Amino acid sequence: MTDIVRADGRAVDELRTITIERGWSAHAEGSALISFGGTKVLCTASFTNGVPRWLTGKGKGWVTAEYAMLPRATNSRNDRESVKGKIGGRTHEISRLIGRSLRAVVDMKALGENTIVIDCDVLQADGGTRTAAITGAYVALADAIEWGRKKKFIGQKSTPLIDTVAAVSVGIIDGEPMLDLAYVEDVRAETDMNVVVTGRGLFVEVQGTAEGAPFDKRELDALLELGVAGCADLRTHQLASLQPAGE
Amino acid sequence: MTDIVRADGRAVDELRTITIERGWSAHAEGSALISFGGTKVLCTASFTNGVPRWLTGKGKGWVTAEYAMLPRATNSRNDRESVKGKIGGRTHEISRLIGRSLRAVVDMKALGENTIVIDCDVLQADGGTRTAAITGAYVALADAIEWGRKKKFIGQKSTPLIDTVAAVSVGIIDGEPMLDLAYVEDVRAETDMNVVVTGRGLFVEVQGTAEGAPFDKRELDALLELGVAGCADLRTHQLASLQPAGE
Amino acid sequence: MTDIVRADGRAVDELRTITIERGWSAHAEGSALISFGGTKVLCTASFTNGVPRWLTGKGKGWVTAEYAMLPRATNSRNDRESVKGKIGGRTHEISRLIGRSLRAVVDMKALGENTIVIDCDVLQADGGTRTAAITGAYVALADAIEWGRKKKFIGQKSTPLIDTVAAVSVGIIDGEPMLDLAYVEDVRAETDMNVVVTGRGLFVEVQGTAEGAPFDKRELDALLELGVAGCADLRTHQLASLQPAGE
Amino acid sequence: MTDIVRADGRAVDELRTITIERGWSAHAEGSALISFGGTKVLCTASFTNGVPRWLTGKGKGWVTAEYAMLPRATNSRNDRESVKGKIGGRTHEISRLIGRSLRAVVDMKALGENTIVIDCDVLQADGGTRTAAITGAYVALADAIEWGRKKKFIGQKSTPLIDTVAAVSVGIIDGEPMLDLAYVEDVRAETDMNVVVTGRGLFVEVQGTAEGAPFDKRELDALLELGVAGCADLRTHQLASLQPAGE
Amino acid sequence: MTDIVRADGRAVDELRTITIERGWSAHAEGSALISFGGTKVLCTASFTNGVPRWLTGKGKGWVTAEYAMLPRATNSRNDRESVKGKIGGRTHEISRLIGRSLRAVVDMKALGENTIVIDCDVLQADGGTRTAAITGAYVALADAIEWGRKKKFIGQKSTPLIDTVAAVSVGIIDGEPMLDLAYVEDVRAETDMNVVVTGRGLFVEVQGTAEGAPFDKRELDALLELGVAGCADLRTHQLASLQPAGE
Amino acid sequence: MTDIVRADGRAVDELRTITIERGWSAHAEGSALISFGGTKVLCTASFTNGVPRWLTGKGKGWVTAEYAMLPRATNSRNDRESVKGKIGGRTHEISRLIGRSLRAVVDMKALGENTIVIDCDVLQADGGTRTAAITGAYVALADAIEWGRKKKFIGQKSTPLIDTVAAVSVGIIDGEPMLDLAYVEDVRAETDMNVVVTGRGLFVEVQGTAEGAPFDKRELDALLELGVAGCADLRTHQLASLQPAGE
């Protein structure tokens, strides 16, 4: 690491200010309003007893996610996908990523025949919305599972949540690997990567894309190292927010 | 008025706690996060220089609105309209109501060939979402117009905003007219009315619906009186939030 | 009332020529082709034994409505909503209004587990299409209920229809309140209101909108009075058309 | 031909009662409400000066058609295509057939850069709706062309309409070829054919379908003969309705 | 017939080179990649035990077809119907034609409660895609039925396939009737006809359209004669391809 | 590497049989039918002079891709996305991946204001369809660029293609890293990764997903090594197919 200072004064391996407002929603079984700097995502978990038809009778649960962005979350207004009548490829891609990331830390047998849908709605965007969504969704998920246990939809001895999971973006800008890119950094990045890492430090997803020039193994390794460290930091925030075990 | 006390302890002619967090959004030209008790609506105003094609060259501006609800804003989750691929009748109806209400206080000639789109996204719903949306949208609109003036898209001597506008729901429950219904009241109301009132106390919209038994003229008058008074209160909140004239 | 004479020679409190061609359709269980002057709406009622899934087993029926306009019902052609692939907000709004208006005079328990869908298709439009639709739909509904009784889907002692219902538009033009606006009047109206009134003279819906300047309580009262009288006249037409109780 | 008598008393080579109410619509440039027995189709022609972009600057006009059915035109109610959000194959197929049939008798150069859209809306269906639509559409088209000539959008010496066109269904029932099938006949037909024939007796479209057993050349010939004669009869009705050259 | 020679050297009554690659697909229960000259259509038959809900319990099967074209099957690229979000009229029309043609040679009682869906995807288009699709679909259908019999979904003594079926296009170019039009011929044809003919030489479908001038009975007869002979040739190809009775 | 033998007899680091049928399409400016064992993808490149509106006047070209699967490409039939009226998330995701991968080896300035759309249609699927699509798309792209140069849409001295690109899947099965997974392997893989690698051995995309247990850095490295070697092999096939410089 060099002592380069970024536009917002951060070190290259430093996260933006992270806040997690757990239990933001009065209605949802679990919820969190998470901020990664100027990126704010409202994550709500909806718990339903029962599973989709294709899973019925297998003794297993289901966790899925939907991601969306408010029309003026970004610098200029985007048309609503509901008005356009179809969901864009980017939205689909991110929804699927969040769902897979969460399922990686859930034991579906232990969850039993219950379904949890996590909605991640970006209220304000400044880069890293999908990683903030995953990180916040974990908190909402944890509370929804706790709710299900209290309501006896989940067995008292079951432990559906087998690990924590967090995500962060990393990228190379002017040849320098950096952690948790803000929007102004993201658009300048030559390589952009999102890593999803469990509490044990294992990878759930690694998605690296050369936006400019292709990247080599050494750069990839540097990015992964930054990402794993960033996710460990995020885990600390997650655990702190879940500390006073509430409902 | 009787001295009936409501579920949440309010008098029949009392608003819920009203808060207006002006300038909530870092990106929008005007914005407000408004709460009517448990109902929370994020209103953002997007200013564009220019007008839709059908209005071009007429020297007039345009103001329109889109209303939507997050899937878990309510007690049980609703499917996203983007996923369903179409917008429901209720959403359409409310978007149109908000747009008409705001246009009633805008002098389109004075606005000039500029377009303002107001997005009202319900983050949490507890009755009265459309009236909170109109009331908050006014604040976002006022700031967007101010922004347009600063940027010289609007003439320095122009006064596009010719009045204030606010809205509130009223209804009859167990024969008793009440102001600003929370969800538990709304579902029990025999008659449900939304009134949109200008700062001068004139009506922009009156929408009364018999949910149970039809209503008579006397009941209608009682509801209108309550609504006008409620909108005057809301105006005080709007003006207070706009007080320290923005940036 | 003044002695102002309107474009078509009517007095301010006079309906246009009203005709109701009951039983227009050979197939529907109830039907009426209604005209309010140049506005012609074909209303058909389709009776189905059984109710939508969400209502099953509650011993109650359901009445709903769909409104639409033929593409060349108006002065210039509109694209078909089926071709556009989505229903516009205005269509949705009016369909919902018709449904609510009819349900206000139906005792759902007495209807039993039966569903009546009323289709209101505007064949020609000259203002007041939604009010003509409601007024004609009542006639179609009455015959469909009678059909259900004959077919023994409805108990012989049941009286599902607890009142009549009619609707009319009223508006203020050049400061003058007027009844049943034709299209040329409608576009000039400062305030536009639709009132839906039962046979007992009670309100089911009051929807007033300031198209130009906001309106005050005195104007509102004048409009309501005109509307109630107009609906009483319409009721006479409805009852006359239903007179020779036939099928 | 045998002396078989049909359900409704007609001879095998006899049309149902044909009525053409020309000029039904107050707004359209040409219109006709046509009945083939219980089948009633409202045909309106909308004239626009100018052509679609893909035809601009070629000195040629365009004629197209859209067919649709009201939800309760048939014996049991069909969901609206606007509500389903998509147009069915049958609707598409018939719209295209009507358009092709009309274009076969229009000289597009003589029409000049003008567009005529014919809407054919089935108000009541009892078999043969597409053939009634074509036959009525011709009348609406003729009047719209006349309107264009009066308005000088079409040259005074131009003759865009180079022939008449009519259509009728024919079919084989219990081995017997029959003309102009009513619905009860249509569902029993082994072979079903629609023929579109010009005033000179030439074919524009021949669409024969074996609904039951495949058919041979002799049967095909018998059907074509019946169809050509039926179209000649329909032409007499068309010309009669156009007689008192109106606007 | 004259001794006119066509662009590609064929006689007027000569098919293009026909190839049928039976069993092209490793997954489908029946399949064929058929070529009519440069037109290549992949036909796959999917066999499902069971029928759609509307047919359940009637002891009858169902055969249906879907036709589509790859975006660059043609000379210039067409947008995908999946991207446009709706199916065009031409696609609908052809899918329905293929389905009807196949059902004409299937005894649905003998098929039993089984469903066969035939997908016909045009990989490359050079005129006559719908007729190639029908001709190839027959081969795929035959193999799928054989598969159903082997799997005992179809009774061992049942003969669901009661005849063969093939289709070919015919048209009049410069006054000359010609068989199996290539694209360059198709666009020049005054009259265009598709005939679907069974092995016994009977008609299933006759669809003739005047693209330029209307046609008379003599021309129609000439086209039908050519078409019937062409279908007999195609039948020989079909039977040859099915010769070594597949698994 | 161990000497484990796979279901199809391959070594763990061995590709399936690769075939590239260059110039498969008679119409497209570039095309290839590529097989990775039982996976067959038809790739066609459509060249258009000009760029989308948002890119006009910037002197740069555009390359994009659309991926789709025939309904019976897989073991059981999937509904068509055109019939469903919307594109699934998986389709969107893969289309975007192919587009990004190709753009990584194109110099958009050198391409000039030209657009190339690559359609990748899966005719038969047996795992690895996205990687086969990318690998085949490169061949189609190369020929389309050559076509553009011949037609002088691209400058004679321009070299838009700055490298080759290929893709392959890798995964861990029973703890063993393996190259180019067939479908039966893919469903059993604990970790699944797609790597897109340039001719110089640099990464364009790395997308690793834990399907079962999360993976560690050592496993990730083993997979990347396999993938890079596999892409080098694929490059040999690409270059061989492009050898006899086209048309």
> From residue A149, how far is each of A21, A45, A118, C152 by CA, in Å?
22, 14, 17, 50
Give the pLDDT band of residue D247 (cuts 50, 70, 90): very low
CA distance E124 to chain D (A): 24
Query: Which pLDDT score, from 0 to 100, does residue F170 have?
Result: 97
The beta strand positions in chain D, using DSSP E, are 18-22, 30-36, 39-49, 62-69, 114-124, 165-173, 176-179, 191-198, 203-210
Both tokens of residue D4? Answer: 């078989």
- Averaged in consecutive runs of 10 residues, what is the pLDDT profile of chain F (247 residues)? 75 96 97 98 97 92 97 94 85 93 96 97 97 98 97 93 97 94 92 96 95 90 97 98 71
Name which of E190, E218, E220 is nearest E206 in CA terms: E220
Q: What is the chain F residue with the closest CA to A164?
A: F214
Residues of A in contact with B126 (CB under 8 A): 26
Give the pLDDT band of residue D159 (cuts 50, 70, 90): very high
Query: Which pLDDT score, from 0 to 100, does residue A87 have?
Result: 84
Whole-angstrom distance, CA of residue D71 vs CA of residue B79? 27
Is any Cβ of chain B less than 8 angstroms from the Cβ of A119?
Answer: yes
| Touching subunits for chain C (3+ Cβ pairs under 8 A) | B, D
Q: What is the per-residue pLDDT across C82-137, written as a single tens digit (0 to 9) for each?
A: 888 888 889 989 999 999 999 999 999 999 999 999 999 999 999 999 999 999 99
| Touching subunits for chain E (3+ Cβ pairs under 8 A) | D, F
Whole-angstrom distance, CA of residue D216 vs CA of residue D208? 11
pLDDT at residue B245 above 70?
no
Q: State whether residue C119 is helix, strand or coil.
A: strand
Is any Cβ of chain D less than 8 angstroms from the Cβ of C7?
Answer: no
Q: What is the per-residue pLDDT across A24-42, written as a single tens digit (0 to 9) for each?
A: 999 999 999 999 999 999 9
Do B46 and A77 count as a contact with CB atoms less than 8 A apart? yes
Name which of C142, C134, C117 is nearest C204 in CA terms: C134
Residue B222 Ramachandran class (φ > 0 left, ψ -120 to 50 alpha, else beta):
alpha
Q: State whether residue E120 is helix, strand or coil.
A: strand
Residues of F in contact with E31 (CB under 8 A): 72
Residue ranges in chain E whose pLDDT is less than 70 = 1-3, 245-247
pLDDT at residue D173 above 70?
yes
Helix (H) or strand (E) holding F22: strand F18-22
Q: Which amino acid is at E233?
A: D
User: Any residues with CB less than 8 A from the CB of D144 and at least 6 apart, and which?
Assistant: D28, D29, D30, D45, D46, D47, D116
Contact by Cβ (8 Å): F27, E73: yes
Query: Which pLDDT score, from 0 to 100, does residue A97 have?
Result: 95
pLDDT per residue rounded down to tens, chain C (247 residues): 456 778 789 999 999 999 999 999 999 999 999 999 999 999 999 999 999 989 999 999 999 999 999 999 999 999 998 888 888 889 989 999 999 999 999 999 999 999 999 999 999 999 999 999 999 999 999 999 999 999 999 998 899 999 999 999 999 998 899 999 999 999 899 899 999 999 999 999 999 999 778 999 999 999 999 999 999 999 999 999 998 754 4
Residues of C in contact with B99 (CB under 8 A): none
Q: Which amino acid is at F89?
A: G
Does the predicted TM-score (pTM) go above 0.80? yes
Describe the strand order of the beta sheet including F191-198 as a list of residue ranges. A176-179, A165-173, A191-198, A203-210, F203-210, F191-198, F165-173, F176-179
Q: What is the chain A residue with the closest CA to B69?
A: A70
Per 3-state DSSP, chain B is made up of helix, strand and coil in percentages (nearest 5) of: 30, 30, 40
> From residue D187, how far is each of A67, D124, D173, D212, D225 by CA, in Å?
50, 17, 10, 10, 22
Do A88 and F92 count as a contact with CB atoms less than 8 A apart? yes
Does E130 belong to an annotated binding site? yes
Whole-angstrom distance, CA of residue B178 vs CA of residue D122? 49
Query: Which pLDDT score, from 0 to 100, does residue C108 have?
Result: 96
Does E129 belong to an annotated binding site? yes
Is any Cβ of chain D less than 8 angstroms from the Cβ of E78?
Answer: no
Whole-angstrom distance, CA of residue B67 vs CA of residue B98? 8
Is any Cβ of chain F less than 8 angstroms from the Cβ of E38?
Answer: yes
Whole-angstrom distance, CA of residue D113 vs CA of residue A15? 64
pLDDT at residue D39 above 90?
yes
Query: Which pLDDT score, from 0 to 100, does residue F172 have?
Result: 94
Does F90 belong to an annotated binding site? yes
Q: Which amino acid is at D216?
A: D
Both tokens of residue C31? Answer: 């039907």
Whole-angstrom distance, CA of residue A156 vs CA of residue E26? 49
Q: What is the chain B residue with the closest CA to C218?
A: B202
Residues of A in contact with B121 (CB under 8 A): 70
Contact by Cβ (8 Å): B82, A80: yes
Query: Which pLDDT score, from 0 to 100, does residue B213 have?
Result: 85
Query: Which pLDDT score, from 0 to 100, does residue A247 have?
Result: 41
Mutate to test the interface with D, among C82, C122, C123 (most CBs of D within 10 A): C82
Both tokens of residue C126? Answer: 């000259």
Both tokens of residue B3? Answer: 């001295």
Is any Cβ of chain C less than 8 angstroms from the Cβ of D66?
Answer: yes
pLDDT at residue B246 above 70?
no
Both tokens of residue A224? Answer: 């992964």
Give the pLDDT band of residue D1 (cuts 50, 70, 90): very low
Residues of D in contact with E89 (CB under 8 A): 87, 89, 92-93, 95-96
Residues of E in contact with F38 (CB under 8 A): 26
Is any Cβ of chain C less than 8 angstroms from the Cβ of D46?
Answer: yes
Whole-angstrom distance, CA of residue E139 vs CA of residue F140? 32
Do C71 and D28 count as a contact with CB atoms less than 8 A apart? no
Residue among D81, D84, D119 minimizing CB distance to C71: D119
pLDDT per residue rounded down to tens, chain A (247 residues): 456 778 789 999 999 999 999 999 999 999 999 999 999 999 999 999 999 989 999 999 999 999 999 999 999 999 998 888 888 888 989 999 999 999 999 999 999 999 999 999 999 999 999 999 999 999 999 999 999 999 999 998 899 999 999 999 999 998 899 999 999 999 899 899 999 999 999 999 999 999 778 999 999 999 999 999 999 999 999 999 998 754 4
Do A89 and F95 count as a contact with CB atoms less than 8 A apart? yes
